[in-house]
Homo-oligomer: A and B are copies of this chain.
Amino acid sequence: MAARAKLSDVARLAGVSTATVSRVLNDNDRVAPELVERVLKAKAELGYRYNSLARGLRTRANAVVGVVIPDVTNPFFTDLVRGIEDLVRENGYLLVLCNTDETAAKEEAYLELLVDQQVAGLVIAPVRSTIEAASFDLAGIPVVAVDRTMNGVDTVTLDNVRGAIAVTSRLLESARRVATITGPLVTTTGSERLVGYRRALSDVGIDFEPELFVEADYSESGGYAAAHRLLALEERPEAIFCGNHAMALGAMRAISEVLDDPSEIALASFEPLPWAADPGGRVVTLAVPSYELGQRAAQMLLERIRGFEGPARSIVVQTELLRTPR
């Protein structure tokens, strides 16, 4: 019930100035050991906790990092967020979660609120890859782009092209007519995975057929609809490569609706499916280290927050072919 103790209370009890208390609580340098002890004792006695807002107002930086992603509900981002959180927490930062639902307006609104909060840094999977980093740099807030690239800032991404090549090539071992359902091509993940798909085709001398390519939106229902479109083709594909986990589930559902024996069509997903979704391990997928991606991004962000000034860096994380059909 008692009002919270403040710095000056600690100072009074310890018989020193507020500046000394502040020094002890931050530097711990250049203060006589005896005073340090007295301050620490007073602090403990009063159960003192600093006021982040006051400190932030003064230092123009709050011990909070913002995470701006399309949707935590997507398992890829769920794990990514945990990767970020675990690392920033260890470093004393809180994490503000912002879901954009692939909406530029929400993204923008969130970015403003984060700037209002003077967040120490930002990890973002931007709605549009073309997003200008400049608007954040204005506020001087360090930014790391994750999963999707952004101009002028540190980035941590997957090797989408290589991954897509690996998956598609595997499908091509047992099928010739391989279709693909991609995410939005305005995202780097969408367009790069398409590039990989095409390259895998051309590597084995197969022409790209536009009718075997559908652009969807990374959602289950999007994948479902897209798969139905492919299944309605006069000449059905023998295999389908889906750009992410949700669309693969949607495609699975569509396939099981249309075919008596779903295994007639080989399926692949860039992201792994939950074990239970594919108990037989028939779906070709990549191991996508989302948690690690988050950790890497957080790591780079912390470095920037601590003052690292070098040019924008970019880390590309490899994926690995996970399961083999049959």
User: A residues engaging B (CB < 8 A)?
Assistant: 1-2, 4, 49-54, 56-57, 62-64, 71-73, 78-79, 81-82, 85, 89, 92, 94-99, 110, 112-118, 138-139, 249, 252-253, 256, 273-279
CB-based contact A50/B85 at 8 Å:
no
Query: Known contacts A53-B53, A72-B78, A253-B276; can you find 6 more A-B pairs with CB under 8 A?
Result: A51-B57, A94-B114, A249-B276, A253-B275, A274-B277, A276-B278
CA distance A185 to B56 in the complex (A): 41
Copies in the complex: 2
CA distance A274 to B246 in the complex (A): 11
Please judge, given known A-B contacts A49-B112, A53-B56, A56-B53, whether A94 and B78 are in contact too, CB under 8 Å. Answer: no
Q: Which of A4, A85, A94, A115 has the most CB of B within 10 A?
A: A94
**10 tightest A-B CB contacts, nearest first:** A276-B277, A53-B56, A97-B97, A52-B116, A53-B57, A53-B53, A52-B117, A249-B276, A94-B96, A54-B57
CA distance A253 to B278 in the complex (A): 11
A sample of 29 cross-chain residue pairs with beta-carbon separation below 8 angstroms, ordered by A number, consists of A49-B116, A52-B117, A53-B53, A53-B56, A53-B117, A62-B117, A64-B96, A64-B117, A71-B82, A72-B72, A72-B78, A73-B78, A81-B97, A82-B99, A85-B99, A92-B113, A94-B96, A94-B114, A95-B96, A95-B98, A96-B96, A249-B274, A249-B276, A252-B276, A273-B276, A274-B274, A274-B276, A276-B276, A276-B277
Which residue on chain B has the smallest CB distance to residue A61? Answer: B53
CA distance A315 to B222 in the complex (A): 36
A265 to chain B, nearest CB (A): 15
CB-based contact A53/B49 at 8 Å:
no
A122 to chain B, nearest CB (A): 13
CB contacts (< 8 Å) of A57 on chain B: these are 51, 53-54, 57
Q: Which of A78, A110, A138 has the most CB of B within 10 A?
A: A78
Which residue on chain B has the smallest CB distance to residue A66? Answer: B94
